[in-house]
Structure formats: structure tokens, C-alpha cells
Amino acid sequence: MLSKVIRSTLSILSPIVRHQHCIRTTCPRFVCPLTVNRCIHRQRLFLSSQLTSSSISARIIHTTMASGRRPEHSAPPEIFYNEDEARKYTSNSRMIEIQMTMSERALELLALPEDTPAFILDVGCGSGLSGEALTEQGHYWVGLDISTSMIDIAAEREVEGDLFVSDMGQGVFFRPGSFDGVISISALQWLCNADKKTHNPPKRLYKFFSSLYGALRRGGRAVFQFYPENSLQLELITSQAMKAGFTGGLVVDYPNSTKAKKMFLCLFAGLSNPQLPKGLGTESNQKGLPTEASFSDSRQRYKNMRGKAPKKSRDWIQEKKERRRRQGRDVRPDSKFTGRKRSKKF
């Protein structure tokens, strides 16, 4: 256990440089985000002498005592997706099938021209499973991931795309208009967590979306399949994307199903009133239930911004009476006159 912690900590401290399998280029518009040397190999720093016993024990407590079923509650992504976890993505047939299905759905939502190769950025590419779906349809792609173990597995599998070790919370550094589209599978929700003292989720989200907006050509789309923990995370992500200049909305596949339900954030660069694609799920579409939630760059002001009932209204009075009942106080029973406006006095 101690050796794994040391390896994972060293991988965090190692500089983010170009991977050795990224020497080949696949598109004339491709530019390496590192401007120092295009052929620098990734170097690992041996800094075990600087690791104290207290820092190692703190890391062990953090990784072993974390609670919750969600991966982001267990450890930071560069630690959670270690070598063992990365191997699962290439050996588990169910994971491969789910990953490929979501990648194909994200590519469908991109709505790229048929029979025309495109240059696509895969954010959180992992072991390259989503990139294989892009390769099968004849597209060129570049993959970013914060986990060195995932990038190593993808390099061993000899995927066609170029691979980089990069933290998307620090932004993507490519030339303006480099990519025709962007996809991301199960990665965006990691930016909502603060794994370090210097991490600020709203700032990291804005940094990511603003830099991505510049790297995407005007009229291009970015599709993110993600798992928001709650409505607050969903609101945080969409608000920062809108602040960066994107328009679009949320497309929900199979909204009435617990297991098959999938959320896709479809963002548009340079379009004011985009038409959102329809979510899958014939039952919900037949009933006329909404399967997408759109947002734009227009401001809308509401009197009730925090979700509370207006003061002195019927709902506000009933909530106050219920709160007093729970406190054990004497409260008059509700009637049809509760919250009813009185006529003005003469």
C-alpha cells in the first residue's frame, strides 16, 4: 500500500510534458500545447527523499477512509485511476461496451458532416476507448487525461490519436479554431471537486470552458457525457459554460429509466439560438415530457432567485407553520383562509 502511494504521489509531482508516443502528427492544424520542445519525452522525478512520513500517512488516510460510491469521493483522479483501475477499462467487457456506446452517442450529438474527416479533441480520453470510436468513423483526434496510468495503457494499445497528460482544470492550450468538435465521457464532474487547497471549482470550470471556447472553431459543438451529483453541480457547470460564451443545453436520454438514463451537455460555439438535439427514449417523447433543458446567453431576472416562496404568501405561511409544529409550538390548524389576502381597511 505504501509503495502505491509513493508511486501515485510521484506521478502527481512529475512535470506534464509530451508523451513519447505523441511524436507523430495526424493533422496539419495540430499544434503541441507545450511550446518548449516537440520531442521531449515524459520524465519522472524521483523525489521520495522529500516525502515525509506525515504526508504519506495523510495520503493513506485520505484514500482508505473516503466514503461514498462515487469515484470522485474516493481520491483525486490521478490517484484513483492507477494502474490497476486503468487495466479494468481494457479487460472488463461491460465497461468497454458502455464506454463505446456513450462515445458513439456523443459523436452522434456532434452532428459532424458525413464522409468528411474531422479533427476532434477527446477530454478525459482514458485508455483510448472513446478514441477508437472516433477512429472507426475516420476522424483524427487528440486525447487529454490527467492519469499517467491511463495514458500508458492507451499507448500500449497503440491507439491512433495523439495523447497528452494534462489537467483540464488548468485549461487546454491549442491554437484558436483548431478543433471541429469536442467530446468527453465521464470526466466533467471531476472539476466540481476541490482536491487541493489551491483548487477552486468555479474558477477551474471557467478556465476550462473559456480556453475550450477559443480552441473550438465557430459553429462547432462540444458534447460532455457526465454524472452530476446533484442539481447544484449541474447549475455550476452550465453557468460557467454560459459565462465562457457557450450556448446550448442539457440532453437527457431515457429520463424515466434509472439505469439507462444518461446526461449529455451539448455546447455550441458562436451560435446564439441553437437547436438542441432530441434525447432518446420513445416513451417520454410520446408523452410530451421534456428531454432537454436549454440555456442561452440572455439574462433573466427573477424575484425569487434562491428557490424560496415569496414572503407573506400562502406557501411561505404554511412552511412557517410546519416549522413551528416541528418545534413543538402551538399552531392554529390550516383552513381555506390561511394566507388569504385581507381587504384594505378604510
User: Per-residue confidence at 312, pLDDT binned at 50, 70, 90?
Assistant: confident
Query: What is the pLDDT of the chain when averaged over all its residues?
Result: 75
41, pLDDT greater than 80: no
Which residue would you say has higher pLDDT here, 250 or 311? 250
97, pLDDT greater than 80: yes
Between the alpha carbon of residue 167 and those of residues 16, 90, 107, 160, 210, the distances in Å are: 9, 22, 23, 21, 15
Q: Collect all residues with Cβ–Cβ distance below 8 Å to 79 and sequence separation of at least 6.
A: 8, 12, 59, 63
179-212 pLDDT, tens digit per residue, is: 999 999 989 999 988 888 888 999 999 999 999 9
- E-strand ranges in the chain read 119-123, 140-145, 162-165, 179-185, 216-226, 247-253, 262-268, 292-295
* Mean pLDDT across 130-149: 90
CB 17 within 8 A of CB 42: yes
The CA angle 79-82-86, to the nearest 5 degrees, is: 135
44-84 pLDDT, tens digit per residue, is: 333 333 333 333 333 332 333 333 478 778 888 888 888 88
Ranges 188-202, 212-226, 272-286, most confident: 212-226
Annotate 256-274 with DSSP letters as a single string.
Answer: T-SSS-EEEEEEESS-SSP
CB 211 within 8 A of CB 175: no
| C-alpha cell belonging to residue 58 | 495523510
Which residue would you say has higher pLDDT here, 51 or 267? 267
> Above pLDDT 70, what percent of the chain?
71
User: Per-residue confidence at 296, pLDDT binned at 50, 70, 90?
Assistant: low
285-288 long-range Cβ contacts below 8 angstroms, 24+ apart: none
**The whole model's pTM is what?**
0.63
Residue 213 is predicted with a pLDDT of 94
* Mean pLDDT across 138-162: 90
Beta bridge partner(s), residue 164: 18, 144
